[in-house]
Amino acid sequence: MASNLETLVTVFGGSGFLGRNVVRALCRRDYRVRVAVRRPELAGYLQPSGKVGQVHIVQANLRYPTSVEAALRDSDVVINLVGILTEGGAQSFDAVQAKGAETVAKAAAAAGARLIHVSAIGADAESPSRYAKAKAAGEAAVLAAVPSATIFRPSVMFGPEDQFTNRFAALARMSPVLPLIGAETKMQPVYVGDVATAIADAVDGKAKAGATYELGGPEVLTMREIIEAIVAIADRKPTLVPLPFGLARFQANFLQFAPGALKLTPDQVTLLARDNVVSDAAKAAGLTLEGLGIAADSLEAIAPQYLWRFRPQGQFQRKSA
């Protein structure tokens, strides 16, 4: 029986939030992993994810096809995780999530490698969001080049290094008032470790070729319910103030230039106006975590393991009177 060590998996975007979890999952299954990133000198922390020599880091930029072709040479499986939440300079949604995805797909097709592409729930060519449009364009380009590609669309992901739960916990620590945009918008937060497991299962050959999976957690929650859960875990009690979308868009025109947790772009406000949940069609077709045999972890089960650092008493949560 062939060993997984004979299989080379190239991961584009392997140094990101989802990427590092995918690399760890692949290493646990004994695959050889090549991580393609723009700044390999900053990705050395991935080396201990596997055995000596199991993880190899190379330079690649999706805006330069020759670097992509070189990065995936001799690969058996290619995984594209590259995505951005905000635009900056040459790193636009279209360049990275549409044209970049097409570049990876064409190179994978030329190399004869299997392709796994990660998009997002909400990808829609008709969406008013540039982010969602670019995601949809990327999916279309991927399937045009590699019809057998497997596509994963996760909902908003959470985990120790996320920019979601950590962001709101940090804001709750900084301010007694927390603006709430899209209070009734529904989401299905999914644990990043479960998404990484699904991707590793696809590398194992357990996912359907040419299918699009939608990955969500075990609960559908409103934005208000999610924020309430986050601040409760962090033992903070900010006043949640609902913010109308019009006012939020106006503020985002200025906050898009803000640093860290304060950053908010107009496109992000647009995204928050639409629900972000697994569709009934995906459920019926079994194209979900459950369809892959993965029991999803909830926000309240995982988040306390890392959000404790935002508590006034650190890991020692205040006891109720």
- Identify the pLDDT of residue 263: 87
Domain residue ranges of the chain, discontinuous segments joined by +: 4-161+188-218+276-297
β-pair partners for 114: 77
Count of other CB atoms within 10 angstroms of residue 130: 18
> Alpha-carbon torsion 227, 229, 235, 237, what sign?
positive
What string of H, E and C letters represents the secondary structure of 81-96?
Answer: CCCCCCCECCECHHHH
**With contact defined as beta carbons under 8 Å apart, do 36 and 71 qualify?**
yes
Q: What is the pLDDT of residues 178-189, one digit of tens each?
A: 999 999 999 999
Q: Give the strand pairing for 55-59 and 32-37.
A: parallel
Give the model confidence (pLDDT) of 264-315 as tens digits. 999 999 999 999 999 999 999 999 999 999 999 999 999 999 999 999 987 6
- Determine the pLDDT at residue 319: 52
pLDDT confidence of residue 2:
62
Domain with residues 4-161+188-218+276-297, CATH architecture: 3-Layer(aba) Sandwich (3.40)
- pLDDT of 1 higher than 50: no
pLDDT at 248 over 50: yes
What is the percentage of the chain residues whose pLDDT exceeds 90?
A: 90
pLDDT of residue 318: 57
Instruction: Among 77-81, 282-286, 316-320, name the one with the lowest average pLDDT.
Output: 316-320
| pTM, full prediction | 0.94
Strands (E), 111-252: 114-118, 150-154, 157-158, 177-181, 186-187, 190-191, 212-215, 221-222, 239-243
Return the closest-CA partner of residue 83 out of 16, 11, 166, 155.
Answer: 16
Tens of pLDDT, residues 107-152: 999 999 999 999 999 999 999 999 999 999 999 999 999 999 999 9
pLDDT score for 321 = 43
What integer best gives the mean pLDDT of the chain? 94
End-to-end alpha-carbon separation of the chain, Å? 60
DSSP labels, 169-190: HHHHHH-SEEEEESTT-EE--E
Over residues 166-179, the pLDDT tens digits come to 999 999 999 999 99
What pLDDT sits at residue 259? 82
CB 26 within 8 A of CB 9: yes
Q: Could you please report the per-residue DSSP string of 202-221? A: HHHT-SPTT-EEEE--S--E
